[in-house]
Homo-oligomer: A and B are copies of this chain.
């Protein structure tokens, strides 16, 4: 374990102290707890959007709190859910009368705590809370059916949910509309990842799994959850083809569709390699007659120092395109209107 930290126990607290020291104009903490991060800007009558989740995924989750995106985030220890009390503290701080939407990834601990927080917000604070649970990793669970429980992990595609729902809230849409937008993105986004090396949770002190020097695992989750298959490391084009075919088949994305793309580095994979991947994505989509509306490339949802990457596709229509184009200004993500 080779990390620039002081002690595993203080890692997340000290990281958070760094965040607040670096961005005092943009974020602050609520309820006297560093783990309850909220935007310094509160707009009366705007729907509040809260997220939350374990640490170790920066810029996910807290990095998207800011103008045009989210209003607050509760922060757990590395790969651990924050508590319901922390979620409630965030909820109370960001509510400005129009209700609060929770958007978070499909993991057991998060669901349990967010559901408890929503109940407490309703009963104790009279805050109307709605929830959208994002799960779009095609390497996990069964294809999503309307009305059925979604068993898929939430991974990098949640960025698109934040982006569109955040823009909808910034445009002062009411809670039911912001929720509808978030659900629409969830229905139209799919992701798949590949891991080349593991990461080490500081408190654990050893890598979360092992991969031989010539191996990769296609479909691995952002906490090292098992993927679809483990095999010899392939050339970039072959890796992209395998991942992209699974993604495209799943929705399915079809000839004539328009998509936004997110190529996401998991931590140690350089931007250069992500662009080599995008080159192939661009070729394959062109061949299939799927049009690219806009491309995001970089580290959006990491797994600390894991090497690997994920690809997300979001099928867009005029409404989602306008929401994607909307400006955003957070400590970790800035976008001019395009």
B278 touches A18 (CB 8 A): yes
Interface string of A279-310 (1 = CB under 8 A from B): 10010000000000001011100101101110
Q: Which of A53-61, A89-97, A166-174, A176-184 contacts B (4 or more CB under 8 A)?
A: A53-61
| A-to-B contact residues, CB < 8 Å | 2-7, 11-12, 14-19, 21-23, 25, 55-56, 58-59, 63, 194, 196-197, 213, 216, 233, 235-237, 239, 267-279, 282, 295, 297-299, 302, 304-305, 307-309, 329, 332, 334-336, 338
Please give me the residue from chain B that is nearest to A269 by CB atom.
B4
B304 touches A4 (CB 8 A): no
Residues of B within 8 A of A282 (CB): 18, 21-22
Residues of B within 8 A of A55 (CB): 272
A237 touches B273 (CB 8 A): no
- The contact sample of 7 A-B pairs, CB cut-off 8 A, is A5-B276, A14-B276, A18-B279, A22-B275, A22-B297, A58-B270, A267-B268
Please give me the residue from chain B that is nearest to A303 by CB atom.
B270
A4 touches B267 (CB 8 A): no
Q: How many whole Å from A179's CB to the nearest CB in chain B? A: 28
Residues of B within 8 A of A278 (CB): 18, 21-22
B5 touches A236 (CB 8 A): yes
Q: How many whole Å from A14's CB to the nearest CB in chain B? A: 5
Q: How far is the CA of A5 from the CA of B6 in the complex (A)?
A: 35
**How many protomers of this protein does the assembly include?**
2
Residues of B within 8 A of A309 (CB): 4
Indicate which residue in B5, B239, B329, B336 contacts A273 across the interface (CB closer than 8 Å).
B5
Q: How far is the CA of A267 from the CA of B271 in the complex (A)?
A: 9
Q: How far is the CA of A61 from the CA of B275 in the complex (A)?
A: 15
B272 touches A11 (CB 8 A): yes
Please give me the residue from chain B that is nearest to A237 by CB atom.
B6
Q: How far is the CA of A194 from the CA of B237 in the complex (A)?
A: 34
Q: How many whole Å from A25's CB to the nearest CB in chain B? A: 8
Q: How many whole Å from A103's CB to the nearest CB in chain B? A: 21
Q: How far is the CA of A269 from the CA of B307 in the complex (A)?
A: 11
B6 touches A236 (CB 8 A): yes
A272 touches B15 (CB 8 A): yes
B6 touches A235 (CB 8 A): yes
Q: How far is the CA of A234 from the CA of B139 in the complex (A)?
A: 39
Other contacts beyond A15-B272, A271-B332: 15, CB < 8 A:
A2-B197, A4-B273, A4-B308, A5-B276, A6-B236, A6-B276, A15-B273, A15-B276, A16-B275, A22-B275, A56-B270, A59-B271, A268-B268, A270-B302, A271-B299
Q: How many whole Å from A324's CB to the nearest CB in chain B? A: 14
A307 touches B305 (CB 8 A): yes
B270 touches A305 (CB 8 A): yes
Q: How far is the CA of A196 from the CA of B197 in the complex (A)?
A: 16
B279 touches A4 (CB 8 A): no
Q: A2-B197, A279-B14, A309-B4 are in contact. Are A302 and B271 (CB under 8 A)?
A: yes
A272 touches B56 (CB 8 A): yes
Residues of B within 8 A of A276 (CB): 4-6, 11, 14-15, 18
Q: How far is the CA of A279 from the CA of B4 in the complex (A)?
A: 12
A19 touches B275 (CB 8 A): yes
